[in-house]
Amino acid sequence: MDDRQTPSADRGYGILTKARLKRRPAIQPPETIFYNKGGEARPYRRHDRDSLMREFYCDAILFDLDGVLVDSTQVVERQWRQWATRNQIDIGAVMAISHGRRAIEIIQTVAPHLNSLAEATYLAAAEAADTAGLSVYEGAYHLLTTLPTGHWAVATSGTRAVASARLTHAGLPLPAVFVTADDVPRGKPSPDPYLQAAAGLGIPADRCLVIEDAPAVVTAGLAAGAQVIAVATTHAPDQLTHATAIVEKLSALRITVQPTAEYRLRIQLPTLV
In whole angstroms, give the CA distance from residue 138 to residue 131: 18
Active site residues: 64, 66
Give me the tens of pLDDT residue by residue for the chain, a chain 273 residues long: 444 444 433 333 344 443 333 333 332 222 222 233 333 333 333 334 444 788 999 999 999 999 999 999 999 999 999 999 999 999 999 988 887 788 999 999 999 999 999 999 999 999 999 999 999 999 999 999 999 999 999 999 999 999 999 999 999 999 999 999 999 989 899 999 999 999 999 999 999 999 999 998 899 999 999 999 999 999 999 999 999 999 999 999 999 999 888 999 999 998 766
How many C-beta neighbours within 10 Å does residue 3 have?
13
Dist CA 134 CA 71 (whole Å): 6
Instruction: For residue 203, count other CB atoms closer than 10 A to its CB.
Output: 21
> What's 106-147 look like in SS3?
HHHHHCCCCCHHHHHHHHHHHHHHCCCCCEECCCHHHHHHHC
User: Which residue, 203, 238, 240, 201, is CA-closest to 100?
Assistant: 240
Q: Smallest Cα–Cα separation from 253: which of 236, 237, 233, 270?
A: 270
